Amino acid sequence: MNIRPLTSSSVVWHHATVTRERREKLNGHKSCVLWFTGLSGAGKSTLAHAVEEHLHQRGCRTFVLDGDNVRHGLSSNLGFSEDDRRENIRRIGEAAKLMMESGVIAMTAFISPFRADRESVRNLIPHGDFLEIYCKASLETCEARDVKGLYKKARAGEIKNYTGIDSPYEAPLKPELVVETDKQSLEHSVAAVLKMLLERCVYASAYQLPR
């Protein structure tokens, strides 16, 4: 590589030479954004982390953006108003895009209830690289799980604008994948995600579907 010294006053060499394509080649797999959406309790985080474990064991670079690492960080100055929730999803979309450009299979696990917000993120990302995975489970199932105890609080009116209770969830119209987390096991859901990634040539690896 020919690097001109910066001591010249005419230097403008500045641009990136390491591209997404070179990073993918180094990693041995493609990068993309896996966008998990669904009600609270539908199993988005659980599924994303299980998919991550499998991909990592197969040598893939991965990262899961979720409430734990985003709400205390990038979105720590946002609340839960309509505007703030929209801005939260926007920032997550931009962060996932940057991670994808860095060569990582970026996964996001947020309710992201509004179709328009998810479509905005889809439009940020090159066609085919945004894969929307709808974690479908009935409100009854999610409310019965109530892992964080938030449905109970929402029913009691202690939390406002809780998705599924007093705020709508807009199911995806054309998601790349639907996993019915109240009907199939976690292992089957993981297998369905990995099958989609194999079919889309994100990575190449023999993976046995669980019997």
Enumerate the active-site residues: 112
CA distance 22 to 146: 44
Answer yes or no whether residue 209 interacts with a copy of itself by CB under 8 A: no
Contact 99, 26 (CB under 8 A): no
* Closer CB to a copy of itself, 106 or 154, in the complex: 106
Answer yes or no whether residue 50 interacts with a copy of itself by CB under 8 A: yes
Q: Per the structure block, which two tokens stand in for 164?
A: 């599924």
CB of 136 to a copy of itself, least distance (A): 12
Q: Which stretch binds a copy of itself (CB under 8 A): 113-121, 125-133, 139-147, 165-173?
A: 139-147
Answer yes or no whether residue 28 interacts with a copy of itself by CB under 8 A: no
Comparing CA positions, the residue from 130, 107, 112, 103 lying closest to residue 54 is: 107
The H helix count followed by the E strand count for the chain is 8, 5
Task: Mention every residue, 6+ apart, whose C-beta is less than 8 A from residue 148.
Answer: 40, 41
CB of 68 to a copy of itself, least distance (A): 8
CA distance 164 to 155: 10
Comparing CA positions, the residue from 170, 52, 160, 32 lying closest to residue 111 is: 170
Choose, by CB under 8 A, the member of 24, 71, 78, 94 that binds a copy of itself. Answer: 94
Q: Per the structure block, which two tokens stand in for 204?
A: 């190449």
Fill in the DSSP letter of residue 70. Answer: I
* Closer CB to a copy of itself, 149 or 173, in the complex: 149
Q: Per the structure block, which two tokens stand in for 69?
A: 């690492």
Choose, by CB under 8 A, the member of 21, 26, 82, 157 that binds a copy of itself. Answer: 26
Answer yes or no whether residue 27 interacts with a copy of itself by CB under 8 A: yes
Residues that bind a copy of itself (CB under 8 A): 1, 3-7, 9, 11-18, 22-23, 26-27, 43, 45-47, 49-50, 52-53, 56, 59, 61-65, 69, 73-74, 76-77, 87, 90-91, 94-95, 97-99, 101-104, 124, 141, 144-145, 147, 181-187, 189-190
